[in-house]
């Protein structure tokens, strides 16, 4: 244990993971995400150990690679699906439909009907119009109300896009009941990449107040869906998964008392550390003789897999064969003819000054929100390849 912070760093920079060793030993014609499904399984067990009786519904959008879904099906995981396409995917890999929730609050009527006909009975809702669509297209379904919470402690706080304010929750629960639906519970999201369990406290206080008010008003809520927010290691310390999950459950029990069903939706926290990207340096340069920093251009950028560098939000870590050489500040950019395709400029990163065109570069912990964010053919570049080892 780290005496100062009270938790360990989850990854030591000195020990390459299995995917990093694989990348070092192989050549790649294009940027490629390499995934270790055994690492996903280990993370599933680590999170499950902390979550106890709370059930994991993997957030498929983080990485829908069929090999990941298949492994999680075999481990008994549930699935949080964002779309008809994701429902088809997980059912195709053998998921039990009772363990699939349609967690997007924004659903076409035809997709709700598809899910209902496929046997999905659990839906997220945050608005009256959505409730009407569900009542019409999935009669009798269980619904949980997504609530907006203040989540200022996350590395990537969410916008107000999802959820409703507390003043609407009772209205929606009553509407569900009146429409013949089951007002089943509440959901929230603490914010992406919430690095320590203690950062959940303020959010849980807010949701518990709504939960208890709903119970006081006669709604027999069954389900608390705590969403995601489980972190991955990007260079800043994070709490280990088992301790993190257990501490979150402790915080919940202290505020909610007995909750019949708790559901957690890790996505990034399940798969990010199980993948790394093999990339290549295409060009290094200085814009002017006087510049104090260099530009380093990779064969992957914001539109070919690294979308989460928008606003320099997620700061990936890079490994090269020249690590140990003298470093200097570098602006990092992608290969496209798009001036917005810059990864890190406001806060340049330190890279070896010996780095040059043609060098291989490994981007760590890229298992989440990379391959499917890649564009179909931006600037004529093919989408990010993904392979499983």
Tokens of 201: 């406290």
On the CB side of 315, CA atoms within 13 Å amount to 13
* Interaction of residue 341 with a second copy, rule CB under 8 A: yes
Binding mask 112-141 for a second copy (x = CB under 8 A): --------------xxxxx--x--------
Q: Which of residues 45-64 bind a second copy (CB under 8 A)?
A: 59-61, 64
Q: Which of residues 231-270 bind a second copy (CB under 8 A)?
A: none
Tokens of 4: 């100062």
| DSSP letter (8 states) at residue 269 | H
Cβ burial, residue 98 (10 Å; 0-12/13-18/19+) = exposed
Sign of CA dihedral 299, 303, 308, 309: positive
Q: Which stretch binds a second copy (CB under 8 A): 85-93, 202-210, 215-223, 233-241?
A: 85-93
- Calpha distance 242→140 (Å, rounded): 36
Buried b (16+ CB within 10 A) or exposed e, 322-331: beeeeeeebb
- Of 245 and 331, which CB lies nearer to a second copy in the complex structure? 331
Q: Phi then psi for 72, rounded to 5 degrees? A: -70, -35
| Number of chain positions touching a second copy (CB under 8 A) | 79
Sign of CA dihedral 165, 223, 204, 105: negative
Using CA atoms of 307, 311, 316, 322 in order, give the dihedral in degrees to the nearest 10: 110
Q: Pick the binder of a second copy from 17, 48, 93, 105 (CB under 8 A).
A: 105
* Interaction of residue 20 with a second copy, rule CB under 8 A: no
* Interaction of residue 201 with a second copy, rule CB under 8 A: no
Q: Which stretch binds a second copy (CB under 8 A): 3-11, 47-55, 79-87, 239-247?
A: 79-87
Q: Taking a C-beta distance cutoff of 8 angstroms, is the pair 317, 235 a contact? A: yes
Q: Which of residues 145-184 bind a second copy (CB under 8 A)?
A: 148, 158-165, 167-168
Tokens of 242: 């088992």
Q: Pick the binder of a second copy from 15, 53, 289, 292 (CB under 8 A).
A: 289
Chain CA centroid to CA 354, Å = 34
Q: Pick the binder of a second copy from 86, 196, 273, 359 (CB under 8 A).
A: 86
- Of 43 and 370, which CB lies nearer to a second copy in the complex structure? 370
Q: Which of residues 295-334 bind a second copy (CB under 8 A)?
A: 295, 297, 299, 303, 307, 310, 333
Q: Pick the binder of a second copy from 26, 45, 213, 356 (CB under 8 A).
A: 356
Min dist CB 63 to a second copy, Å, is 11
Q: Pick the binder of a second copy from 1, 4, 25, 376 (CB under 8 A).
A: 376
């Amino acid at each position: 244990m780290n005496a100062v912070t009270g938790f360990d760093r989850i990854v030591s920079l000195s020990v390459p993971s299995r995917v990093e060793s694989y990348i070092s030993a192989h050549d790649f014609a294009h940027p490629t995400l390499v995934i270790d499904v055994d690492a996903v399984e280990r993370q599933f067990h680590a999170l499950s150990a902390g979550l106890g009786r709370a059930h994991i519904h993997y957030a498929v959008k983080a990485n829908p690679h069929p090999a990941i879904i298949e492994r999680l099906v075999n481990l008994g995981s549930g699935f949080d699906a964002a779309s008809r396409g994701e429902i088809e995917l997980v059912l195709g890999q053998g998921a039990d439909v009772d363990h699939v929730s349609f967690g997007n609050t924004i659903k076409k009527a035809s997709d709700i009907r598809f899910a209902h006909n496929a046997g999905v009975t659990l839906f997220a809702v945050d608005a009256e119009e959505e409730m009407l669509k569900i009542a019409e297209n999935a009669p009798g379904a269980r619904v949980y109300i997504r609530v907006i919470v203040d989540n200022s402690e996350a590395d990537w706080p969410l916008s107000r896009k999802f959820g409703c304010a507390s003043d609407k929750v009772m209205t929606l629960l009553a509407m569900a009941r009146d429409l013949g639906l089951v007002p089943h519970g509440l959901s929230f999201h603490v914010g992406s990449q919430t690095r320590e369990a203690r950062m959940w406290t303020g959010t849980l206080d807010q949701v518990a107040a709504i939960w208890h008010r709903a119970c006081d008003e006669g709604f027999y809520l069954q389900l608390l869906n705590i969403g995601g927010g489980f972190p991955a290691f990007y260079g800043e310390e994070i709490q280990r998964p088992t301790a993190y999950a257990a501490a979150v459950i402790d915080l919940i029990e202290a505020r909610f008392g007995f909750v019949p069903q708790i559901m957690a939706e890790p996505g990034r926290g399940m798969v990010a550390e199980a993948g790394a990207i093999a990339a290549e340096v295409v060009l290094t340069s200085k814009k002017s003789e006087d510049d104090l920093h260099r530009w380093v251009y990779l064969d992957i950028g914001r539109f070919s897999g690294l979308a989460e560098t928008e606003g320099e939000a997620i700061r990936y870590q890079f490994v090269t064969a020249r690590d140990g050489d003298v470093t200097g500040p570098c602006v990092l950019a992608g290969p496209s003819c798009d001036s917005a395709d810059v990864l890190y400029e406001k806060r340049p990163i330190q890279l070896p000054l010996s780095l040059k065109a043609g060098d291989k570069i490994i981007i760590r912990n890229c298992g989440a929100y990379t391959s499917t964010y890649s564009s179909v053919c931006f600037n004529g570049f093919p989408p990010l390849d993904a392979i499983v080892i």
